[in-house]
């Protein structure tokens, strides 16, 4: 082992890992977008767990790198919310419980169905503090791939490690616990005994390394910040400590960045450039979100074989160091760790914001080209999700594949934060809102509505409709645009359909870039109030072209933009009659050849028939349509026209 504190510059043999890193990035997407294991439910939660709040949690275990077998104890200090005669903690049946003590007295218990039930007589009185100490040992279920406790070999360096990953419902696979997001643990210690050739990383500050005199030593980590159950972790390997420091503006001290990487110079050589970016990332986020929330402890990484990273509080477990992955996991320290989603339905509080942290790192610490490419990629993933909300329906709360859906939770989740920034249209106010959110909900949990209310309060903009459409709603808008200059007026007709009947209309303001024939351009922002909006804009210059959302702020699809010549009013070019109608609808054009016809209901869904037709006049049978309001989209050789009609 070596302790390297930025004292030397190394001249190493360069190993090209580019292809491997590309592969790992693709694995990271798969990791986020697939069910993680066979047991994705917290159905083992017992209502008796509501009877207490955890105040302090100490873990003291022994572990190696050749297996995931662990042995030790946990000490859990809590306060009783009611009188307690039966105390319950969660633990997998594959683990063995040796004994249980309550306030240093041995107690009877049962252990089955993932529940440790401890019988207490006399009962613990409401408001009393008590301590449970549970001795246990065993190996977690081997079917839980990339969850619970894993022993793996990194083939690139031929390096072994043992590490944990408990998100979302998997601490009970390996450690007696209470899996309740809203019951953050006020304070915690983690002691890990390993062979003297190994090191063990965990949360908080390394308070001591105690030599036990038997070929073993104990790493003693302590944290005095609230932490959610799934963020408690350890990683063990033959590590070196590559520690560096960040110096956020306005902070009088430095922030330790303690990186546990494989104890080989090749590993440090490969990742040194990526690691040395981390101080800049921390300084940037501290400027944008508020000071790094665990500045008095540390930030760090434990390197293991993993197809991405996991934001364990103050010490991320990570599979490789890459600009995007490092930026993502670090952003979680603010969004996910300091402020944690109140339920897994609001996982956006964690993953949407951490994903947007990637963009902000490119924007402020990288290149604008990379930031632009990131946004295009994020929108492309969001466009894959033609249905499904960012908010997780209660019916899917046990489905980790749905919770960690890459297109919805990560990429669409990040994109709507960018859209909130667009609506506010003032970065000072936007980032003030993020800082205020951290101040209000730090060391605690929050929902999507909490963020909505925070941003509404800070900006003075009511985001209720936005969240109903983009967070709780589904899909995205599709635009058709026709426009024409006539004298000193620009006529624009914007038609919006959507990909999901759940959200028939998105009312987000829309930017139009207008380019003039004499050169130059202007940007105007127009509100959307209905599926078909008509705008008349006074202009002194002749328009050459129009584009929608030219800077790619919005999730959207643009179907067509057409310049219609030789007319004064867009609506006068095509007539449909009779309107209202019971049986037939006749369409007549003013010298425009009809190419195709689509009929949409008010939810933006194409009805049963889709008509391809060539000619100037068309009669359509609408007998089979239900009564109601419809839109008919008529594509001609000169552009699209959309009309509204009523079926009687």
The residues facing 153 across adjacent strands are 160
Confidence of residue 88 (pLDDT cuts 50, 70, 90): very high
Task: Please tell me the CATH code under which domain 354-470 is placed.
Answer: 1.10.390.10
**Positive or negative: CA dihedral 20, 21, 23, 28:** positive
Identical fold for domains 47-237 and 477-568, yes or no, is: yes
pLDDT tens digits along 123-139: 999 999 999 999 999 99
The mean per-residue pLDDT over the stretch 58-82 comes to 97
pLDDT tens digits along 113-123: 999 999 999 99
Structural element, H or E, at residue 489: strand 489-498
Domain 571-647 has CATH 2.60.40.3080: yes
Of 186-195, 243-252, 258-267, 530-539, where does mean pLDDT reach its minimum? 530-539
CA 618 – CA 304 distance, rounded (Å) = 66
- Is residue 349 within 8 Å of residue 447, measured between CB atoms? yes
Q: Is the confidence at residue 105, as pLDDT, over 50? A: yes
- The number of beta carbons lying within 10 Å of the beta carbon of residue 7 is 6
pLDDT score, position 617: 66
The topology under which CATH files domain 477-568 is: Immunoglobulin-like (2.60.40)
pLDDT score, position 174: 97
pLDDT score, position 14: 33
Confidence of residue 604 (pLDDT cuts 50, 70, 90): low
Q: Is the confidence at residue 597, as pLDDT, over 80? A: yes
- Is residue 612 within 8 Å of residue 635, measured between CB atoms? no
CA 503 – CA 523 distance, rounded (Å) = 27
Q: Is the confidence at residue 162, as pLDDT, over 80? A: yes
* Assigned CATH class of 47-237: mainly beta
Q: Are strands 96-102 and 105-106 parallel, antiparallel or unpaired?
A: antiparallel
Looking at 471-544, list the stretches that DSSP marks H as alpha helix, in order from N- to C-terminal side.
Answer: none
Q: What is the rounded average pLDDT for all residues in the chain? A: 90
Domain ranges across the chain: 47-237, 354-470, 477-568, 571-647
Q: Is the confidence at residue 474, as pLDDT, over 80? A: yes
pLDDT tens digits along 25-59: 444 444 454 433 333 456 788 999 999 999 999 99
């Amino acid at each position: 082992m070596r302790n390297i504190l930025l004292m030397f510059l190394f001249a190493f043999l360069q190993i090209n890992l580019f292809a491997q890193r590309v592969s790992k990035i693709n694995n990271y997407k798969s990791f986020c977008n697939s069910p993680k294991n066979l047991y994705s439910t917290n159905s083992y939660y017992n209502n008796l767990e509501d009877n207490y709040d955890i105040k302090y949690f100490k873990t003291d275990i022994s572990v190696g790198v050749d297996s995931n077998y662990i042995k030790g104890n946990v000490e859990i200090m809590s306060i009783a919310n009611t009188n307690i005669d039966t105390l319950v903690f969660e633990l997998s049946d594959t683990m063995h419980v040796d004994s249980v003590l309550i306030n240093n007295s041995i107690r009877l218990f049962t252990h089955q169905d993932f529940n440790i039930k401890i019988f207490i007589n006399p009962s613990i009185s409401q408001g009393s503090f008590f301590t449970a100490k549970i001795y246990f040992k065993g190996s977690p279920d081997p079917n839980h791939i990339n969850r619970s406790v894993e022993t793996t070999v990194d083939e690139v360096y031929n390096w072994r490690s043992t590490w944990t990953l408990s998100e979302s419902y998997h601490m009970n696979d390996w450690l007696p616990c209470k899996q309740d997001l809203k019951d953050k643990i006020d304070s915690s210690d983690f002691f890990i005994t390993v062979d003297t050739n190994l090191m063990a990383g965990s949360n908080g500050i390394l308070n001591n390394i105690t030599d036990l005199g038997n070929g073993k030593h104990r790493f003693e980590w302590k944290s005095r910040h609230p932490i959610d159950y799934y963020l408690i972790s350890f990683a063990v390997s033959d590590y070196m400590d590559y520690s560096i420091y960040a110096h956020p503006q306005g902070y009088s001290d430095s922030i330790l960045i303690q990186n546990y990487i494989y104890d080989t110079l090749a590993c440090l050589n490969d990742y040194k450039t990526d690691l040395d970016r981390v101080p800049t990332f921390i300084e940037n986020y501290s400027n944008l979100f508020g000071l790094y929330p665990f500045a008095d402890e540390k930030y760090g990484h434990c390197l293991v074989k993993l197809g991405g990273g996991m934001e364990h509080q103050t010490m991320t477990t990570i599979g490789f160091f890459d600009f995007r992955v490092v930026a993502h996991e670090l952003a979680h320290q603010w969004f996910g760790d300091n402020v944690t989603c109140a339920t897994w339905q609001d996982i956006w509080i964690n993953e949407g914001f951490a994903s947007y942290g990637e963009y902000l790192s490119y924007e402020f610490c990288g290149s604008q080209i990379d930031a632009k490419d990131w946004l295009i990629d994020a929108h492309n993933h969001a466009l894959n999700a033609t249905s499904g909300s960012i908010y997780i329906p209660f019916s899917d709360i046990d489905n980790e594949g749905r919770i960690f859906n890459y297109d919805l939770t990560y990429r669409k989740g990040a994109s709507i934060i960018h859209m909130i920034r667009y609506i506010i249209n003032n970065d000072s106010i936007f980032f003030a809102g993020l800082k205020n959110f951290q101040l209000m909900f730090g060391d605690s949990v929050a929902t999507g509505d909490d963020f909505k209310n925070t941003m509404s309060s800070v900006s003075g903009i009511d985001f209720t409709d936005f969240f109903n459409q983009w967070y709780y709603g589904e899909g995205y808008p599709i635009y058709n645009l026709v426009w024409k200059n006539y004298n000193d007026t620009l006529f624009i007709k914007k038609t919006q359909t959507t990909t999901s009947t759940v959200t028939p209309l998105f009312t987000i303001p829309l930017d139009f870039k207008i380019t003039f024939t004499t050169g130059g351009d202007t940007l105007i922002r127009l509100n959307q109030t209905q599926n078909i909006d008509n705008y008349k804009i006074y202009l002194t210059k002749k328009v050459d072209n129009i584009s929608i959302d030219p800077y790619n702020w919005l999730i959207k699809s643009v179907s067509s933009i057409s310049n219609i010549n030789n007319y004064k009013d867009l609506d006068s070019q095509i007539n449909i009659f009779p309107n209202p109608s019971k049986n037939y609808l006749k369409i007549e054009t003013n010298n425009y050849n009809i190419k195709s016809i689509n009929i949409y209901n008010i939810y933006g869904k194409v009805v049963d028939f889709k008509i391809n037709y060539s000619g100037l006049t068309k009669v359509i049978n609408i007998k089979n349509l239900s009564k109601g309001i419809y839109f008919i989209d008529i594509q001609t050789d000169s552009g699209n026209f959309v009309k509204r009609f009523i079926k009687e």
